[in-house]
Structure 1
């Protein structure tokens, strides 16, 4: 099963192979720091879920093309409040008290404790939804 997932992940990054190490760093930290995570590879995103999806990786446009580095991933996560940080490119409240945040990551060291803190909080928030 894991081998099949690896192939699907490789296919997801087929046109953006330079961004794969960014994803691998994020996935490794999520799997080692958050228990019971399911990874689902889809056409436009790779999602991480427990009871519900709490974070995902995509190539969503969160900046103008001229402001994007050549290689990047967009990490999205959902919380019950808006996070104010210069790192967050876009945030939206699609439902009352449910905020989705998007962060463009272009360097491995950007997968840091601050980002992981938000993702862990998102996993707890997601697990508590009814």
Structure 2
């Protein structure tokens, strides 16, 4: 884990565990690059398909949760999705709250794999 990632997570053990579980799930999708900024950690291949950020709600931040964002070509219908927006036709951005490492489960893995493939397809069209 880099110093940038530790700084982003504030060195909090709970957030570190969430990050490690999420990143392991992301990396299982295939080769990608990670970028750390002040507001988010993102993975791309080269187009972004997965992100982590701090939740906007203070209660969620205090609870040590992280906000996962996944880009897909369709809208997911799941109670785990906090918000889904279509910023432009055929591109859906989904936000879900991660509060326990176990939430990086098979369902999330499948969504991330789909997002990875969607980003790969965008690259081939470019």
Question: What is the TM-score of this pair, normalised by structure 1?
Answer: 0.86
Alignment of 1:85-104 (within 5 A): 85-104=78-97
Query: What's the Cα RMSD here?
Result: 1.6
When residues 41 and 89 of structure 1 are mapped into structure 2, their CA distance, relative to the original with a 3 A threshold, is same
1:78 and 2:71 aligned:
yes
**Partners in 1 of 2:106 and 2:7 — Cα distance?**
28
State the 1:84 CA deviation. Answer: 0.6
Specify which of 55, 58, 61 is matched with residue 60 of structure 1: 55
Alignment of 1:1-130 (within 5 A): 6-14=2-10, 16-31=12-27, 33-61=28-56, 64-66=57-59, 68=60, 70-129=63-122, 130=126
Runs of 4+ in 1 over 6 A off after TM superposition: none
Aligned residues: 122
**Partners in 1 of 2:31 and 2:63 — Cα distance?**
33
User: Could you list the runs of 5+ residues in structure 1 that have no partner in the other structure?
Assistant: none
State the 1:26 CA deviation. Answer: 1.1
When residues 71 and 60 of structure 1 are mapped into structure 2, their CA distance, relative to the original with a 3 A threshold, is closer
**Partners in 1 of 2:65 and 2:112 — Cα distance?**
18
Kept after mapping to 1: 8 A contact 2:55/2:65: no
**Partners in 2 of 1:126 and 1:116 — Cα distance?**
15
State the 1:51 CA deviation. Answer: 2.1
